[in-house]
Amino acid sequence: MRGFFYYFYAMYILTSNQIKQADQATIEHKNITSLELMEHAATLCFNWLHSRLQGQNIEIHVFCGIGNNGGDGLVIARHLFQHGYNVHCYIVNFSDKRSDDFLTNYNHLKELGEWPTVISSEKDFPKVDFEDIVIDAILGNGLTRKPAGFTKNLIQYINSTKVFTLAIDFPSGLFSNASVIDKDSVLRAGHTLTFQTPKLAFLLPENKNFINTWEVLDIGLDENFIESLKPTTHYITKNDVIPMYQSRNKWDHKGTYGHSLIIGGSFGKIGAVTLTTKAALKIGSGLVSAYVPKCGYNILQISIPEAMVEVDSDKLLTHYNFKTKPSVIGIGPGMGTAEQTAIGFEKFLKNNKIPLVIDADAINLIAQQPTLIEYVPEKTILTPHPKELQRLVGEWKNDFDKLEKVISYSLKHNVLIIIKGAHTTIVDGGFLFVNSTGNPALATAGSGDVLTGIITGFIAQGYSPLKAAIFGVYLHGKTADIALQKTSYETFTSSSILEYLPDAILDLFNQENTSSQES
Ligand SMILES: NC(=O)C1=CN([C@@H]2O[C@H](COP(=O)(O)OP(=O)(O)OC[C@H]3O[C@@H](n4cnc5c(N)ncnc54)[C@H](OP(=O)(O)O)[C@@H]3O)[C@@H](O)[C@H]2O)[C@@H](O)CC1
Ligand SMILES: [K+]
């Protein structure tokens, strides 16, 4: 599902409550019963499994709760029985309540002569072997508290077998929008088939043990209604960035594509600013200048003949006194935090009116003197790595708390913050944009310097800061995804990001694989 936001489309990430509302609205507006919706959703899950197993004689254990997640499990179990699979279906009897649709599907199964086994305590746990398959339909979107008692023990038992587990909608025990407190109470899913939208919990590092791969099954919830909820969290895929691309015209000249100035470097750290400068050039900034200490002059001139270079003091940045009149400045890579550098940086910020992308040591200098943030222009982009981010917004208790802290900081100072990680997230006030591309190949020295250059180069070309951030983060990750088809994680370096940038851009025009709703 794509929602309209600003002037581009992005897939929404909904909370549990929003999904419940959408579920209800779909039933009301689309003339469909909740039972039919369950049948449809669960049949999609069955089809997913059936197309992979093709009737193989593997033991399949379907664990069903007593709500609608359990109802899904009963529908899946019914299809599996009807297709001749070797299925064992269990009711995890953690409550006397039963949802209506659960009961209807329970009866359907009994009518077929297949009576599920009721699990009411540890002594009822079945034998599950590593070679089997478990379908986890114990708890889903209706989770209200952490699983306890024998339900928790069952989850722990399934985890201990290391069996492949297919989670329906959610790994049982995982909240969509809150942190896990008891890590032993959550099922470790091998793959999760989730309904309608990705869930924020799937994208946060603290849940890495519970979420492996996942994909979204479109079960046809009412898109107009979802739109009306005005969700604030988005998942960025290829479909979302294609419309951002600004094509070029025959009569354009290099001035049309702006002038990036990259400020950074110190003795021994000229490589960082070199990478950033190269990236701004490579992404298409019409002109690119670098402002570095004198010791960086030859290095820059020799390694990037296309760039212009101005210099500051011998080994450090101290004066920030450049003649160039850029359209955007990327500042920080390799800059260091020496006292003179900090004093000069403060003066620079107080006088500067040019749009900024602030990275690395420039962020550390702001963290050291937090009031400096008041001098940055509106919609300045900050690209901190985790330690830099912590210095900026303070320590967080968990990943949800981190997002809250970053949102407050972004709102308070009217800046964009890029939280780097496996799912890099761009925070623009109350809006979150979570990236889908990238892999551990990007965990390499200089990767962030290149990102700063790409984003700066996009802003030079007239992309808004938000679009530059989203598009830049997407392409940066995509280079590593494409490269992995030809190289290895280990041999991919920050220079490889630049090498694969053309492929990442050309991939936008490749019609195949445009719906990457999985991770
Ligand atoms: N959204 C959609 O479009 C569609 C959704 N569908 C499916 O419905 C699922 C949501 O179903 P659901 O609302 O019935 O919730 P579910 O997770 O089955 O459990 C609720 C029950 O568990 C209980 N309970 C809660 N926490 C507990 C705990 N820790 N330990 C013990 N008990 C606990 C809770 O009790 P209570 O909190 O009220 O006391 C209640 O009785 C969704 O994930 C998807 O699979 C599809 O079929 C069709 C389309
Ligand atoms: K589940």
Residue located via tokens 């509106």: 378
**For a pocket test of ligand 1, which of 68, 187, 196 has the largest count of ligand atoms closer than 8 A to its C-beta?**
68
- Kindly state if the Cβ of 221 falls inside 6 Å of ligand 1: yes
Distance 71 CA to ligand 2 centre (A): 11
Q: Look at residue 2 in the predicted model and tell me its pLDDT.
A: 47
Residue located via tokens 């399934």: 158
- Kindly state if the Cβ of 144 falls inside 6 Å of ligand 1: yes
- Kindly state if the Cβ of 67 falls inside 6 Å of ligand 1: yes
Residue 30 and residue 155: Cα distance in Å, rounded?
A: 36
- Kindly state if the Cβ of 19 falls inside 6 Å of ligand 1: yes
3-state class of 382 per DSSP? strand
Beta-carbon count within 10 A of 254 CB: 11
Q: How confident is the model at residue 517 (pLDDT cuts 50, 70, 90)?
A: low
- Kindly state if the Cβ of 123 falls inside 6 Å of ligand 1: no
Give the predicted TM-score (pTM) of the model.
0.94
Q: Look at residue 518 in the predicted model and tell me its pLDDT.
A: 64
- Kindly state if the Cβ of 143 falls inside 6 Å of ligand 1: yes
Nearest ligand 1 atom, CA 70: 18
Q: Which residues have a Cβ under 8 Å from the Cβ of 408 and sit 6 or more positions away?
A: 393
- Taking all residues of the chain, what is their mean pLDDT, rounded to a whole number? 95
Q: Look at residue 516 in the predicted model and tell me its pLDDT.
A: 47
Residue located via tokens 């623009």: 428
Tokens describing residue 511: 């019609």
Q: Look at residue 519 in the predicted model and tell me its pLDDT.
A: 72
Q: Which residues have a Cβ under 8 Å from the Cβ of 227 and sit 6 or more positions away?
A: 3, 4
The DSSP symbol for 487 reads: S
Q: What angle do CA 383, 389, 395 make, to 5 degrees?
A: 165
Residue 7 has pLDDT above 50, yes or no: no
Q: Look at residue 1 in the predicted model and tell me its pLDDT.
A: 46
Residue 474 and residue 434: Cα distance in Å, rounded?
A: 10
Residue 410 and residue 419: Cα distance in Å, rounded?
A: 12
How large is the C-alpha radius of gyration of the chain?
26
Q: Look at residue 26 in the predicted model and tell me its pLDDT.
A: 95
Candidates 301, 355, 303; CA nearest to 326 is 355
Mean pLDDT for the stretch of residues 322-346: 97
Half-sphere exposure of 322 (CA within 13 A, CB side): 27
Residue 221 has pLDDT above 70, yes or no: yes
Residue 5 has pLDDT above 70, yes or no: no
Which listed ligand is nearest to 70 at the C-alpha? 1
Could you read off the pLDDT of 182-201 as tens digits, one per residue? Answer: 999 999 999 999 999 999 99
Distance 70 CA to ligand 1 centre (A): 8
* Residue spans of alpha helices (H) in 339-441: 339-351, 360-368, 386-393, 399-413
Nearest ligand 1 atom, CA 102: 14
**For a pocket test of ligand 1, which of 16, 40, 43, 69 has the largest count of ligand atoms closer than 8 A to its C-beta?**
69
User: Is the CB of residue 264 less than 8 Å from the CB of residue 273?
Assistant: yes
Name the residue at shortest CA distance from atom 13 of ligand 1: 142
Tokens describing residue 505: 């851009």
H or E element: which one contains 290?
Answer: strand 287-292
Q: Give the torsion sign (CA, 339, 382, 493, 403).
A: positive
Torsions phi, psi of 385, nearest 5?
Answer: -85, 170
Q: Look at residue 8 in the predicted model and tell me its pLDDT.
A: 45
Q: Look at residue 283 in the predicted model and tell me its pLDDT.
A: 98
Q: Look at residue 3 in the predicted model and tell me its pLDDT.
A: 44
Q: Look at residue 11 in the predicted model and tell me its pLDDT.
A: 86
Could you read off the pLDDT of 476-488 as tens digits, one per residue? Answer: 999 999 999 999 9
Distance 148 CA to ligand 2 centre (A): 15
Mean pLDDT for the stretch of residues 199-210: 96
List, as residue ranges, the binding site: 68-72, 136, 140-146, 169, 172, 272, 334, 385, 420-424, 448-449
**Phi-psi sector, 446: left (phi>0), alpha (psi -120 to 50), beta:** left
- Kindly state if the Cβ of 69 falls inside 6 Å of ligand 1: yes
261 DSSP β-pair partners: 289, 329
Residue 379 has pLDDT above 60, yes or no: yes
* DSSP for 103-123, written as a single string: HHHHHHHHHTT-PPEEE-SGG
Beta-carbon count within 10 A of 164 CB: 15
Distance 138 CA to ligand 1 centre (A): 8
- Kindly state if the Cβ of 296 falls inside 6 Å of ligand 1: no
Q: Look at residue 514 in the predicted model and tell me its pLDDT.
A: 52
Nearest ligand 1 atom, CA 19: 1
